[in-house]
Chains A and B, each alone.
Chain A
Amino acid sequence: MNPSPMQTDYLNIETSLKSWLLTRDHKRIAWLYLGAVLFFFVIGAIAAAMFRIELLTPKGDFFSPDFYNRLFTIHGIVMVWFFLVPVIPATLGNFLLPLMIGSKDLAFPTLNLVSWYVFVVGGLFTIWTVAAGGVDTGWTFYTPFSSVYSNSNTLTAATGIFITGFSSIMTGINFIATIHRMRAPGMSWLRLPVFVWTLYSTSLIFILATPVLSTVLILLFLETQFGMGFFNPVLGGDPLLFQHLFWFYSHPAVYIMVLPAMGIVSEIVPQFARNKIFGYRFIVGATLAIAVIGFLVWGHHMFVSGQSLYSNMIFSFLSFVVGVPSAIKVFNWTATLYRGSISFEAPMIYALGFIFLFTIGGMSGLFLATLSIDVHVHDTYFVVAHFHYIMVGGSILALLGGVHYWFPKVTGRLYPERLAQGSAWLIIAGFNFTFFPQFILGYMGMPRRYQSYPDRFQTLNVLSSAGAFILAVGYLLPFLYLTWSLFKGAKSGPNPWNSDGLEWQTSSPPIKENFAHAVTYGFRYLTEEAKSNGVET
Chain B
Amino acid sequence: MKTSAEREGQEPDIPNDSNINLGIWIFLLTEAMLFGALILCYSVMRILHPAAFNTASHLLDWKAGTLNTAILLFSSFCMAVAVRASGKGKSKGTSVLLLVSASLGILFLAVKGMEYHSEWLKYLFPNDEFTFAGPDSAFVKLFFNAYFILTGLHAIHLTFGILWLSGLGIASWVSPQFHRRYPNAIDCAGLYWHFVDIVWVFLFPLLYLVGGS
Residue positions of A touching B, CB distance < 8 A? 104, 107-108, 111, 169, 172-174, 176-177, 180-182, 185-186, 207-212, 214-216, 218-219, 222, 226-230, 235-238, 241, 245, 248, 518, 520-521, 536-537
Q: A229 to B138, alpha carbons, bound, how many Å?
A: 10
A215 touches B127 (CB 8 A): no
Quick one: which of A169, A235, A537 contacts B30, CB cutoff 8 A?
A169
Chain A residue with Cβ nearest B41:
A230
Which residues from B are CB-within-8-Å of A186?
A: 4
The reply to whether B22 and A235 contact each other, CB–CB distance below 8 Å, is no
B170 contacts A by Cβ under 8 Å: no
B145–A228 touching, CB < 8 Å: yes
Question: B67 on the interface (CB 8 Å rule)?
Answer: no
Contacts known (A107-B23, A180-B22); A210 close to B30, Cβ less than 8 A: yes
Contact in complex: A215, B23 (CB < 8 Å):
no
CA distance A474 to B3 in the complex (A): 51
Report whether B27 and A173 are in contact in the complex, using a CB–CB cutoff of 8 Å.
yes
A111 CB, nearest partner CB in chain B, Å: 8
Expressed in whole angstroms, the Cα–Cα distance for A176 and B4 within the complex equals 25
Pick the residue among A172, A236, A537 that contacts B45 (CB under 8 A). Answer: A236
Taking CB atoms and an 8 Å cut-off, the chain B residues in 19-43 that contact chain A are: 19-20, 22-23, 26-27, 29-31, 33-34, 36-38, 40-41
With A173-B26, A210-B30 in contact, is A521–B142 under 8 Å at CB? Answer: no
Given A172-B26, A176-B26, A537-B3, A222-B41 contact (CB < 8 Å): no
Whether A537 lies near B19 (C-beta < 8 A) is no
Given A185-B7, A228-B149, A215 and B38 touching (CB < 8 A)? yes
- With a cutoff of 8 Å between Cβ atoms, the chain A residues found around residue B19 in the complex are 107-108, 177, 181-182
> A536 contacts which of B4, B31, B128, B138 (Cβ < 8 Å)?
B4
B26 touches A229 (CB 8 A): no
B145 touches A229 (CB 8 A): yes
B41–A236 CB distance below 8 A: no
Task: Digitize B176-190: 1 where CB-to-A-CB distance is under 8 Å, 0 elsewhere.
Answer: 000000000000000
12 residue pairs from A and B, CB less than 8 Å apart: A107-B22, A111-B23, A173-B27, A177-B19, A208-B33, A212-B37, A215-B37, A216-B37, A227-B127, A229-B145, A230-B145, A537-B4
Which residues on B are within 8 Å of A, measured CB to CB? 1-4, 7-8, 11-14, 16, 18-20, 22-23, 26-27, 29-31, 33-34, 36-38, 40-41, 44-45, 48-49, 52, 126-128, 138-139, 141-142, 145-146, 149
Tell me whether B23 and A238 are in contact (CB under 8 A).
no
Return B42 CB to nearest CB of chain A, in Å.
9
Q: Is the CB of B141 within 8 A of A235?
A: yes
> Measured between C-beta atoms, what is the minimum distance from B155 to chain A in Å?
15
Q: Is the CB of B23 within 8 A of A108?
A: yes
The answer for the CA separation of A19 and B115 in the assembled complex, in Å, is 51
Which of A181, A207, A520 contacts B29 (CB under 8 A)? Answer: A207
Tally of A-B Cβ pairs under 8 angstroms: 115
How far apart are B37's CB and chain A's nearest CB, in angstroms? 4
A177–B26 CB distance below 8 A? yes
CA distance A216 to B22 in the complex (A): 27
Contacts of B11 in A (CB 8 A): 185
Cα separation A104 to B16 with both chains bound (whole Å): 12
User: Contact: A520 with B4, CB < 8 Å?
Assistant: yes
**Distance, CA A186 to CA B38, complexed state (A):** 43
Q: In the complex, what residues of B have CB within 8 A of residue A229's CB? A: 142, 145
Nearest opposing residue in chain A for B38, CB measure: A215
Q: How far is the CB of B122 from chain A (nearest CB, A)?
A: 18
When distances are taken between beta carbons in the complex, the residues of chain A under 8 Å from B31 are 211
Chain A residues contacting B37 (CB-CB under 8 Å) are: 211-212, 215-216, 245, 248
In the complex the two chains form, what is the Cα distance from A227 to B128 in whole Å?
A: 9
A237 contact set on B, CB distance < 8 A: 45, 142
CA distance A185 to B4 in the complex (A): 8
| Cβ-defined contact, A211 with B45, below 8 A | no
- Chain A residue numbers with a CB within 8 Å of B4 are 185-186, 520-521, 536-537
- Contact present for A211 and B33 (CB under 8 Å): yes
B22 to A177, Cβ gap below 8 A?
yes
Find out whether the CB atom of B23 lies under 8 angstroms from the CB atom of A228: no
Task: Provide the residues of chain B in CB contact with A212, threshold 8 Å.
Answer: 33-34, 36-37
Apart from A208-B29, A214-B34, A237-B142, what 10 extra A-B contacts exist at CB < 8 Å? A169-B27, A181-B19, A182-B19, A186-B4, A212-B33, A222-B149, A227-B126, A236-B45, A238-B44, A245-B37
CA distance A104 to B11 in the complex (A): 14
